Each structure stands twice: as C-alpha cells, then as structure tokens.
C-alpha cells in the first residue's frame, strides 16, 4: 500500500471530478486547530518533516489508480485522469518545535486544486498526531522541573511507527533518552533501559539476578527493585552495588506503589550504604500530572520514565483540527457553517515577545518588531530548506516556552494564550462574509394571500 492511497475516499472522488471539470486553478488550504484540548495552554508544532517527505514523493502510479478503482467499484480507465498526478505546489509552515495556539495556521498548502485536495488526509494525520504527542511531552518536561525524563512508551503506542515518532517527539520536547532502540540509533537519541520483572523472576532470588546482570554489563546498571518487597529490594541492590564498587551512574528503579514514600526510603537506604551517587528512577503510569505531584512533594527522584500516557497523549489524544480551503483562483473563500466558520485568504502569524500572536494576511506589513512564524519550506514540489533536525526544534521550543506567560505553562488548569486578528484579516473576513450572505441568504417568505371570499366577514 502506497502513501498515495493512504487517504479518505472523498479526496479521490473530489480530485477526479476537479480534473474532469478542469477545475485546476491554484488553491490554498490552511491547516489549523480550532480549539486547544482541555488541559492545554499551548501546543507544540510537529509533524512537518513527515508532511514534507510525503509531498516531495507524491505521485499517483498505475497501482494507485487500480486501488482507487477497486475502492469505487469502477473500471480503472475511469480513474486514469489521476494517473501521473504529482505535487508541484508550495508549502508555508510553522517550523517544528514552535509553540502554537488555536486558530493559527500550522501550515498552508498552495497548489492546483486536485493536488492540494489529495494531500488533506495524510497531512492532517501526521500533523495532528505528532502535535498532540509533542505537546504532551513538553508538559512532562515542564512538570519535571529540571529532572530528567525518558521515553518508555513503545510497547503501548498505536503501532511501531507511532512509537518511533513518540521517541523523536520526546527528544524534541527535551527528554533525556528513549527505550526505543530503532529511534535511538536512527536519530541519535540516547538509549535508556533497565530490566523487567521477568528477569528477576528467572533467578532464584533478587541478589542472584542483580549480580548476573552486573556481570553482563560492566558499565552503570539500573536494578529494578519492586518485584517482591521494594525496600528489601533496595537493600539487596545497595549491598550488591557496594560489594562490586559500582556506585556513580548506577540507579534503582521504582515501578509501583507509593513512589513518593518509597523513593524516600530508597534514598535513605542508599545514602546509609555510602551510595550517594546512585540515582532513583521512577516509572509506572506516569505523565505530567504524576510527575508534577512528585516534584511538588520533593520526592528524591532523579529520573522520570513516562510511557503509555505520554506516548498516546492519553488525556488529549486528538486535536480539533481542520484543513480548509481559504483561497481559490485568487478569490478568498470561507465557510459559514455554525460553529465552524473559517477565515478567508492566505495567512501569516506574527509573534512579538510578551504580546499575543497576531493572525494576519500573508504579505501584510507585520506589527512593530513582530516576527512571521510561517516560512516557505517547499516550492514547485521541492524543499526550499534542508530537513529539520529534532535538536534544532528542541532549541526553538525551549526559547518559545521561556517566553510563554506562566499561566499557559501550568500543569493543572492552564490558561490558553489567545491570538488576535489583524485589522486587514478582520476587514477581509467581513467583506467575504457580507458577499456570501448576500448571495446565499434565503429570500424572505412572502406573506400568504387570502382571497376575499375566504375572509371571515365578522357577521353571524
């Protein structure tokens, strides 16, 4: 199955009709999030690199046409107008790692209408999923308040590719490492891992398991200590580490129970054994809420391993995002549906430190000292900038979070930042709305005419 056929059927039926009717003028679509999910004060733009890879390699081949025809139960010859269709348009986008808000375009695609239409489903899929996960990961880093966070999510993500993306997005957000070997080696992310309870259970007791593991791995080791009795496990781990003179860089891992109380007991045991350089790793159902609670309580935990809840953005697993036509053949267009009104025209987002973002029109003069966020990343179907690295996106995110107001970064009950609309965009929206309402407003119904003979006379 090719990425071309990874689409919704109505994209194919619309594109085919456009081609048959010669509706091929340049169209601009804007991809944006209508409203932030509950519990989010900001989002982190992500998914652009996958979107660019998709568009750069987009071409409808014979096999794609045959699969479209099978789906529509039509002869392949009916779908041949799609054959050879490739993307040769322009993309303007917010770089990965930027903090973004509701209503702001994350990217805008300008291309002949059939091309721009066929891109919709895949672009929404990638940008929405990755932005949701990156935003969750950024909140985990904020909650950790300087303590290391690592990604343990692969076994619970929605497929291996989603797990790979979660590892990359965690690194982008500031995670210190990932358990995902494929992502670690492919992307240069530090690999992080310990052992499972099954390893402990395979030996006659915990001490035998710890010693065997240490013999196999001469560097720093992390012992999982909660298989049977957590405090006893820490005591055994401390005895083995002291006996082997393996202190700094090593750690014990707590994976269940009252992590606050157990981490304090573990710290006391380790310190009493002279192992002040041995750290404590906590895991087990953690996300930003659990991490924030432990950090606020002062738990002596050095590393937080987040898994399922972070990898699937459990409390906000989807975005109310849209990919809407805003201009066709030079004519600004908009949607007037109740609760889903869109703003017309190609857009730009202007950012000034300490002020709300301004959503304006592409090409309008920016407000004083404001920086435009959307940049041209593809023209003529080819990238205009090299592929972005997660390390660069991480630096952008650090800078943006440092500029966010404190209430937007709260873990509980954050206050979303609200962009404002420029005068030019507001005036264009009003003009287009007025024109559409004049053209499509229903005519008022005429008053019914009652014949004279049928009127009551008032006489009895």
Strand partners, 280: 252
Q: Rounded distance, CA 80 to CA 16, Å?
A: 9
Tell me the C-alpha distance between 338 and 341, whole Å: 7
Q: Are 324 and 347 in contact (CB under 8 A)?
A: no
Intervals of CATH 3.20.140.10 along the chain: 3-132+318-439
Fold of 3-132+318-439: nicotinate phosphoribosyltransferase (3.20.140)
CATH topology of domain 193-311: TIM Barrel (3.20.20)
Full DSSP string of 371-386: EE--EEEEETTEESSP
As annotated, the residues of the chain forming the CATH 3.20.20.70 domain(s) are 193-311
Residue 135 structure tokens: 């935003």
Indicate if the alpha-carbon torsion angle 147, 151, 156, 162 is positive or negative. positive
Mean pLDDT by 10 residues, the chain (460 residues): 92 98 98 96 97 97 97 97 97 98 98 98 98 98 98 96 98 98 98 95 98 94 97 98 93 97 98 97 97 98 97 96 97 86 95 94 92 97 96 98 96 95 96 91 65 44
CA distance 353 to 170: 25
DSSP label at residue 74: S
User: Can you give the pLDDT at residue 448?
Assistant: 64
Query: CB count, 10 Å around CB of 360?
Result: 26
**Burial class of residue 352 in the structure, from the number of CB atoms within 10 Å of its CB (0-12 exposed, 13-18 middle, 19+ buried):** middle
Which residues, including other chains, have CB under 8 Å from residue 365's CB and lie 6 or more apart? none
The gap from C-alpha 431 to its chain's centroid, in whole angstroms, comes to 34
CB-CB neighbours of 299 under 10 Å: 22
Positive or negative, the CA dihedral 96, 97, 99, 101 is positive
Output the pLDDT for position 445.
63
Give the dihedral of Cα atoms 170, 172, 176, 182; nearest 10 deg. Answer: 70
Kind of pairing between the strands at 371-372 and 358-361: unpaired
In this prediction, residue 118 carries a pLDDT of 97
Q: E strands of 113-202, at which residues?
A: 148-151, 177-178
Q: What is the structure's pLDDT at 94?
A: 98
């Amino acid at each position: 199955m090719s990425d071309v056929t990874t689409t919704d059927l109505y994209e194919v039926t619309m594109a085919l009709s456009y081609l048959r009717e010669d509706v091929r003028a340049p169209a601009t679509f804007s991809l944006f999030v209508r409203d932030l999910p509950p519990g989010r004060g900001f989002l982190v733009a992500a998914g652009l690199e996958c979107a660019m890879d998709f568009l750069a390699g987009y071409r409808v081949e014979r096999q794609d046409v045959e699969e479209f025809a099978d789906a529509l139960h039509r002869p392949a010859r009916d779908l041949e107008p799609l054959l050879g269709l490739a993307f040769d348009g322009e993309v303007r986008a917010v770089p990965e790692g930027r903090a973004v808000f509701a209503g702001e375009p994350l990217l805008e695609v300008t291309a002949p209408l059939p091309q721009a239409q066929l891109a919709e489903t895949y672009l929404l899929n990638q940008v929405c999923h990755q932005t949701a996960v990156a935003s969750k990961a950024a909140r985990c880093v904020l909650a950790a308040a300087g303590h290391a966070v690592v990604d343990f999510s692969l076994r619970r993500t929605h497929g291996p590719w989603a797990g790979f993306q979660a590892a990359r997005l965690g690194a982008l957000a500031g995670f210190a490492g990932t358990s995902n070997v494929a992502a670690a080696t492919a992307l240069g992310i530090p690999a992080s891992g310990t052992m499972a309870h099954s390893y402990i259970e395979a030996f006659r007791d915990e001490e035998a398991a710890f010693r065997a593991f240490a013999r196999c791995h001469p560097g720093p080791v992390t012992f999982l200590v909660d298989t049977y009795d957590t405090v006893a496990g820490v005591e055994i781990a401390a005895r083995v580490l002291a006996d082997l003179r393996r202190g700094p860089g090593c750690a014990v891992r707590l994976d269940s129970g009252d992590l606050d109380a157990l981490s304090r007991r573990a710290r006391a045991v380790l310190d009493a054994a002279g192992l002040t350089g041995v750290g404590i790793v906590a895991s087990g159902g953690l996300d930003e809420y659990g991490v924030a609670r432990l950090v606020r309580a002062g738990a002596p935990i050095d590393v937080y391993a987040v898994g399922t809840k972070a990898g699937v953005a459990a409390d906000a697993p989807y975005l109310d995002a849209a990919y809407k036509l805003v201009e066709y053949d030079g004519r600004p267009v908009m949607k007037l549906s109740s609760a889903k009104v869109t703003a017309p025209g190609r857009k730009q987002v202007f950012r000034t430190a300490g002020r709300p973002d301004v959503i304006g029109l592409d090409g309008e003069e920016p407000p004083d000292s404001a920086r435009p966020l959307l940049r041209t990343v593809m023209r003529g179907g080819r990238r205009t900038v090299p592929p972005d690295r997660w390390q660069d996106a991480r630096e952008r995110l650090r800078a943006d979070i440092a500029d966010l107001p404190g209430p937007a970064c709260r873990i509980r009950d954050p206050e979303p930042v609200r962009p404002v609309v420029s005068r030019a965009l507001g005036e264009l929206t009003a003009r287009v709305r007025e024109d559409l309402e004049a053209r499509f407003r229903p005519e008022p119904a005429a008053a019914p005419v009652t014949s004279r003979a049928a009127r009551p006379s008032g006489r009895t």
